[in-house]
Structure 1
Amino acid sequence: MDETLSRDGTSIAYRRRGDGPPVILVGGALGTAATEAPLATLLASRFTVVTYDRRGRGASGDGGPYAVRREIEDLAAVAARAGGRVSLFGMLSGGALALEAQAAGLPVDLLAVYDPPYTPGAAGLLYKSRCTAQLHRLLSQGDRDGAVALYLSRTGLPGTTIARMRQAPMWPGLVALAHTLAYDDTLLGDGALPVGRLASVTARTLVVSGGSGSAGTRATTLALAAAIPRARHRTLTGQTRELAPQVIAPVLAEFFARDVFAGRATAEAP
């Protein structure tokens, strides 16, 4: 992997694949550049696809203390190496980061996000508050294993599945990233949709949700699309939080193909 320096001097590791218009994949909680490799490989025949280890993960550094603006600066540094104006795809909390970065002024042509895990509504905000408190308690006690299990349970995995994962070779790698769960938690704020900031998103945006996700998640993505000035919504039948790369790849390829998109931009403009 190559590396670039963020504004605060933190080293951010990234990898390029393919050739064409630049697309950066922004991973979600407990993800690294390696997590995004299958999707990057599928897109690399048409785009220069950049994957990177977000702050505190994989080969990247972790200058502290954590702040959302530092993650935005990290992404800006990677974008500069990719060619300046880029397109972004953010998975889950990576989608929230992509939205925050574009709202803050990162030059982005096209932006796609998949199920950013906001939890609006009174019940959702209370749930987020309780999970945040529990996460920080576990991390402050040094219980990284418990923090990962908490996150996985929040994604809907049953306890029996988490117990099996604890015995799998992948588990130590997840535990090594446990401290970054607090970063993603901070990124999502209190769980409410940041409507004011979303109004500043200028990129044409595709908000994607999984057809087999919860009704609440779908409602959140619809509200998200409504809050972004130039956004449209799409549902992928049969998909859950575990999004299949071979399903999302053709959707992104169509959306990010600027020559195709430009020809119909006027007709589709909100």
Structure 2
Amino acid sequence: MYAHIKLTREDKVVNVAVVIAGILAFLATFYPLYYLLIYSLNDPIDSASGQLYLLPRQFTLANYSVIFADSQLLSSFLVTVARTLLGTLTGVLFTAIGAYALSKDRLLFRKVYSLIGLVTMYVSGGLIPTYLLLQKLHLLNTFWVYIIPSLFNIFNALLFMAFFRQMPDELEESAKVDGAGDFYILMRIILPLSKPVLATVSLFVAVNHWNDWFSSAYFVSNQKLWTLPTIIVRMLSDTAIIDNMQSLPPNMRLNPLSTLLAIKYATLIVTVLPITLVYPFIQKYFVQGMMVGAIKA
């Protein structure tokens, strides 16, 4: 039997206020994205008349057909998916291994390594030194320029370290009594118990790989290796779309400005939607993982 808590008048007022505030916050964040969606699914000429609020008046996929007509879009999408999957797997694993070592007091020069890592959170090497370093490592204009430089992230390592320190030492001690080594303990005992922080860091790393256009634009000249965000930035250029206006259907050429806006909105939906769909599946773990740093640094 569960005891029912009797709410006072003040409690009910606060609950109502919280619900109203939550609904308003949801609408303020969700509706702009929803507006992009219905605008991109509506005929551009009809959209120019305005008063488009809830549903498309003249449904069409013409805006999306213009996007996917670009020959580079499919290849860039595959490159981005490959980069995100491989980069997330290697980045999370490499960071977890480094963070596990840094979380142990018995590691020699642990404080020095941690200090060096913390400095990188506030001071970067700069674009030119980074470019020269990648050039010396023969990473420029290769797929690995997306993967290797992002293998370790100190902020994600701090999340891992905070989570690992909360685990009882008896887990490792009992495993070592049975002859297990540090790597075995990490892979078979620690990481399987670290789903919240793994989901949190995985989301951070995946979003960074999916949205990053900087690396592709500055470190890769081979267009076959360009990622989707780089292609999207190019397609969002007014000049690039106007140059392709001749290939558009006749009805879409009547109002170039409206067509331009509709194609931009469709492009943004294509970019945002895939990574957004991942979040609901790991939301439970994400919230738990983010609470780690708030409980224990």
TM-score exceeds 0.5: no
Structure number having the greater helix percentage: 2
Structure number having the greater strand percentage: 1
State the TM-score, normalizing by the size of structure 2: 0.23
Higher RCO (Cα < 8 Å, 6 or more apart): 2
